[in-house]
């Protein structure tokens, strides 16, 4: 019997939620079913909500610090969930994963340096380096048998001495891959041998589905541990993205001291009291909620996949091994990207992410967020069916 109600419709309009209240600005209309921004429409774990309420009742919100309970919650969660033993000194608060990527680039690279990404991939991986005047080097993923693979031979060809950082999406967004230990070890070898620092974005780590098991990049080998900065957060896991509670984990003492000094000189390593509290309570008490949430997400994924196969075979779902995002292969519709987006927005009344934002490799694709009640997904799929067959 489920303890949490993921079928509940919670109206987010009027709360300044990007997913609902930025529709008009982003899509030109506000009558769309919002399935784009990567947060879920489920209430966060009740224990987290209650902890915030109780702390708010105290009524005094002065300067606070992160206590040992905060660090212990992260350490215990990472050990129990991912079999990765980390230490308190390795951890530092950062005010967001994307900001963390920017900080690493600013701290460890110069304007003449290059940054490697593996598209199609989360769009800030390209945007942030380019805004920092770093040249981006693409090592495109290969779509084989319905799943993405890293092209390691091509990686060896495209890297040069100017490549100083590789940004790894682990698990992958938008493709949903949970990389294997062998894949991660191979990346670690190549990057270590070529003096390329790995930023491992592991924000979807806790959302590995079914029998898939997330492997932290830094845990696969000594070379990986000594040549990486891992960025993690409870935000996707427990739907608390609005409470910024991200953190970095750095086993290498030299890298850690340099990065922590960078953060400290601008006080970028200090969160607010609710950031520390929400992360701590989520990690201490959220395991059962997460277990049920992931099962609900998986059933939503299966529903979408089954519906497409039966009713809209021109669109194929790339089944995610992690996360609440489905990468939809729409190439068989034979539409331009502009017409594909128009089909979803203007005909189906759906707000999804345009696949091309993840790189030119994303053309012909759309990204759908299924972290929402089943009734919303049923309505969305019916809309899409009518639009495709109109």
Residue 281 has pLDDT above 70, yes or no: yes
> What are the tens digits of pLDDT across the range 246-278?
999 999 999 999 999 999 999 999 999 999 999
CATH architecture of the region 18-45+288-385: Alpha-Beta Complex (3.90)
Q: Do domains 18-45+288-385 and 62-284 have the same CATH topology?
A: no
List of residues 6+ apart from 195 with CB closer than 8 A: 161, 164
pLDDT band of 1, cuts 50, 70, 90: low
Inter-residue contact 253 to 229 (CB < 8 Å): no
Question: Tokens standing for 141?
Answer: 């993923």
Count of beta carbons in the 10 Å neighbourhood of residue 317? 21
> What are the tens digits of pLDDT across the range 78-103?
999 999 999 999 999 999 999 999 99
Residue 338 has pLDDT above 60, yes or no: yes
Question: Tokens standing for 30?
Answer: 């506000």
List of residues 6+ apart from 80 with CB closer than 8 A: none
pLDDT of residue 390: 87
> What are the tens digits of pLDDT across the range 306-319?
999 999 999 999 99
Give the chain's count of helices (H) and strands (E). 15, 15
The whole-number average pLDDT for the span 49-61 is 97
pLDDT of residue 2: 74
The whole-number average pLDDT for the span 177-185 is 98
Burial class (CB within 10 angstroms; exposed 0-12, middle 13-18, buried 19+) of 175 = buried
Q: At what angle do helices 124-131 and 97-108 cross, to 10 degrees?
A: 40
Count of beta carbons in the 10 Å neighbourhood of residue 327? 27
> What are the tens digits of pLDDT across the range 360-389?
999 999 999 999 999 999 999 999 999 999
Domains of the chain, by residue range, sit at: 18-45+288-385, 62-284
Question: Tokens standing for 245?
Answer: 């509670």
- Correct CATH for 62-284 of 3.10.180.10, 3.40.50.1000, 3.40.50.300, 3.40.640.10: 3.40.640.10
The string of DSSP letters for 46-98 reads: HHHHHHHHHHHHT---------HHHHHHHHHHHHHHH-----GGGEEEES-HH
pLDDT of residue 175: 97
Question: 47-65: buried (b, 16+ CB within 10 Å) or exposed (e) per residue?
Answer: bbeebbeebeeeeeeeeee
- Average pLDDT for the chain: 97
% of the chain surpassing 70 pLDDT: 100
List of residues 6+ apart from 183 with CB closer than 8 A: 149, 150
Residue 341 has pLDDT above 80, yes or no: yes
The torsion angles phi and psi of 130, rounded to 5 degrees, stand at -65, -35
């Amino acid at each position: 019997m489920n303890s949490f109600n993921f079928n509940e419709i919670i109206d987010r309009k009027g709360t300044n939620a990007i997913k609902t209240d930025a529709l008009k600005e982003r899509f030109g209309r506000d009558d769309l079913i919002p399935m784009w921004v990567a947060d879920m429409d489920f209430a966060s774990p009740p224990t987290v909500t209650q902890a915030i309420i109780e702390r708010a009742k105290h009524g005094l919100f002065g300067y606070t610090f992160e206590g040992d309970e905060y660090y212990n919650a992260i350490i215990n969660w990472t050990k129990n969930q991912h079999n990765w033993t980390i230490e308190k000194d390795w951890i530092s608060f950062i005010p967001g994963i994307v900001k963390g990527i920017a900080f690493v680039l600013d701290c460890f690279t110069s304007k003449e340096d290059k940054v490697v990404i593996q598209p199609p991939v989360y769009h800030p991986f390209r945007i942030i380096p380019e805004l920092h005047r770093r040249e981006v080097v693409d090592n495109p993923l290969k779509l084989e048998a319905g799943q993405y693979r890293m092209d390691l031979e091509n990686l060896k060809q495209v890297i040069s001495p100017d490549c100083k950082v590789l940004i790894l999406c682990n698990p992958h967004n938008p493709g949903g891959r949970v990389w294997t230990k062998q894949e991660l070890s191979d990346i670690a070898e190549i990057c270590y041998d070529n003096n390329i620092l790995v930023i491992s974005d592991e924000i979807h780590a806790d959302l590995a589905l079914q029998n898939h098991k997330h492997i932290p990049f830094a845990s696969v080998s000594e070379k990986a541990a000594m040549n990486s900065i891992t960025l993690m957060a409870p935000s996707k896991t427990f739907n608390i993205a609005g409470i910024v509670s991200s953190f970095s984990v750095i086993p290498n003492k030299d890298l850690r001291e340099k990065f922590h000094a960078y953060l400290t000189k601008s006080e970028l390593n200090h969160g607010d009291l609710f950031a520390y509290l929400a992360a701590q309570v989520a990690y201490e008490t959220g395991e059962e909620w997460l277990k049920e949430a992931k099962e609900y997400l998986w059933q939503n994924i299966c529903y979408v996949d089954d519906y497409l196969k039966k009713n809209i075979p021109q669109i194929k779902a790339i089944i995610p091994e992690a996360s609440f995002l489905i990468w939809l292969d729409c190439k068989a519709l034979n539409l331009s990207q502009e017409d594909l987006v128009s089909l979803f927005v203007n005909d189906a009344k759906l707000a999804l992410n345009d696949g091309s934002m993840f790189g030119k490799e994303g053309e012909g694709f759309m990204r759908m967020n299924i972290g929402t009640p089943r009734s919303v997904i049923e309505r969305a799929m019916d809309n899409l069916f009518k639009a495709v067959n109109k």
